[in-house]
């Protein structure tokens, strides 16, 4: 196992991503942030906390999206659903989807399908902590990336959280 980001580095990356989101969405009134259940939510919780601090107490609309029944691998095994929490309309909003690792693009595709059940956003952007380049099965690229890595298809990128705080990112 090789650690590629420590807890301190993840915290810095989250701060940088928050600044980038605010640079591209200076008026967050028309922007919503949605964490993809389950692993994207831990990242999105931290990112939204940082954005709200930087945005001088004006909270951004934040939701959590369960994509369990939109996945294309649902037929292979039994999945336990998570909870979708969205207390706002996405209609004509700029949506920023948050996930921990972008690998094949299939999770993002499932999230896009799930989003359409809640309305039609004006724009959808993707923010990820780790972008596994050169492994995409679908033409999906993030607008906001914490770290881009090149790993072998046989290797795994593992994002660890301890008590909902960043712990480390490793390649195994």
Give 143-172 pLDDT, tens digit per residue: 999 999 999 989 999 999 999 999 999 999
In sequence order, the β-bridge partners of residue 145 are: 128
pTM for the complete prediction?
0.92
Question: Is residue 63 within 8 Å of residue 32, measured between CB atoms?
Answer: yes
- The enclosing H or E element of 127 equals strand 123-132
Q: Length of the chain, please?
A: 172
Show me where the domains of the chain are located.
Answer: 2-171
C-alpha 170/C-alpha 172 separation (Å) is: 6
- Beta strand 94-102 pairing with 61-65: unpaired
Q: How confident is the model at residue 135 (pLDDT cuts 50, 70, 90)?
A: confident
Quickly count: other Cβ atoms within 10 Å of residue 164's Cβ. 9
Tokens at 52, concatenated: 């709200």
**Per-residue pLDDT tens over the stretch 55-109:** 987 899 999 999 987 777 655 565 556 778 887 888 999 999 999 999 999 999 9
Does the structural domain 2-171 have CATH classification 3.40.30.10?
no
Burial 71-86 (b: 16+ CB within 10 A, else e): beeeeeeeeeeeebeb
Peptide bond into 71 cis (omega under 30): no
Give the per-residue pLDDT at 76. 58
**Does residue 11 surpass a pLDDT of 60?**
yes
Tokens at 31, concatenated: 């922007």
Give the per-residue pLDDT at 105. 94
């Amino acid at each position: 196992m090789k650690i590629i980001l420590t807890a301190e580095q993840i915290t810095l990356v989250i701060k940088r991503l928050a600044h980038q989101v605010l640079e591209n969405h200076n008026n967050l009134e028309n922007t919503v942030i949605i964490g993809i259940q389950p692993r994207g939510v831990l990242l999105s919780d931290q990112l939204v906390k940082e954005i709200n601090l930087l945005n001088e107490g004006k909270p951004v609309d934040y939701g959590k999206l369960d994509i369990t029944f939109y996945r294309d691998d649902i037929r292979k095994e039994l999945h336990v659903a998570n909870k979708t929490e969205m207390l706002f309309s996405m209609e004509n909003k700029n949506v920023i989807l948050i996930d921990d690792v972008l690998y094949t693009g299939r999770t993002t595709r499932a999230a896009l399908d799930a989003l359409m059940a809640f309305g039609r956003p004006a724009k959808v952007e993707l923010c990820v902590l780790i972008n596994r380049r050169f492994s995409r099965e679908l033409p999906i690229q993030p607008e906001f990336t914490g770290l881009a890595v090149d790993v072998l298809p046989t290797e795994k990128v593992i994002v660890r959280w301890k008590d909902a705080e960043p712990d480390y990112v490793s390649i195994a």
